[in-house]
Structure 1
């Protein structure tokens, strides 16, 4: 393993709570957006709606709904599942934000992103990505071994 994440970090509950809030936002946005855009073409750019401050179409609403369920569910379950899902969510949201930033003024903007969408996507990526650095769980002996590896043996 190239990176050495702290195990049982004392702020782990705070980071999980932040990811729960991020997942809940994605879920609520997805549900409300899907309801408001139902009946419109799936990848429409012209008939996109503004929901909770973001521009959306049915495709982006559905994607947000699924992402919210995954992030929220993983963080409610906890353990190291949340650690891995948060890592993946941080990377995926960053890539999606960069792609939509590059494609925003083109016909390839299939999710009808606006600049506000890009900024919120990067904020959610930052929350989940940073949380993944500190939410790893393990036994007390594994945590001590990781600390010794990172900082050297403790001297009394």
Structure 2
């Protein structure tokens, strides 16, 4: 079993970084949806550049949803953000890798560019790291985890 720290002292910093990532994704999605409104959902011919990334309407809508979910989880906290950040971070990395494989094909349904893939990886790593260091618990949980970590090899 891996050691995941409980009540890590840098948890507030990771929450802020995750909130900033979620805010970026949300703002990107809103501007992207505004710019690409009227186009077909998965349009690959008329892509728009927003905040340094390419988008179509489908990607903009997914970004709005992802941004809202991340921000709500950060706001709620209480380990909801811990679990959601791990999942969302992995999802951003997987989507980045998937779209990197589909870049120059007709299957690039979200209209990704290499920059989109890199940004997806960066956001994924930041959010995933926040999940790893975002777990909270009681003093008893901390003592139990430290005991496991130091005495149970």
Q: TM-score, normalised by structure 2?
A: 0.97
Matches within 5 A, 1:13-28: 13-28=12-27
**Structure-2 residue corresponding to 1:132:** 131
Q: CA RMSD in A?
A: 1.0
Secondary structure, in 3 states, of the residue corresponding to 1:84? helix
**Structure-1 residue corresponding to 2:50:** 51
**Structure-1 residue corresponding to 2:141:** 142
Q: State whether structure 2 residue 36 is matched by structure 1 residue 37.
A: yes
Q: State whether structure 2 residue 46 is matched by structure 1 residue 81.
A: no
- Aligned-residue offset at 1:3: 2.6
Inter-partner Cα distance in structure 2 for 1:111 and 1:38? 15
Number of corresponding residues: 152
**Structure-1 residue corresponding to 2:11:** 12
- Aligned-residue offset at 1:11: 0.5
**Structure-1 residue corresponding to 2:70:** 71
**Structure-1 residue corresponding to 2:106:** 107
Inter-partner Cα distance in structure 1 for 2:146 and 2:21? 29
Inter-partner Cα distance in structure 2 for 1:29 and 1:87? 22
**Structure-1 residue corresponding to 2:117:** 118
Q: TM-score, normalised by structure 1?
A: 0.95
Inter-partner Cα distance in structure 1 for 2:21 and 2:150? 32
Inter-partner Cα distance in structure 1 for 2:3 and 2:78? 17
Inter-partner Cα distance in structure 2 for 1:151 and 1:34? 50
Moved over 4 A (4+): none
- Aligned-residue offset at 1:148: 1.2
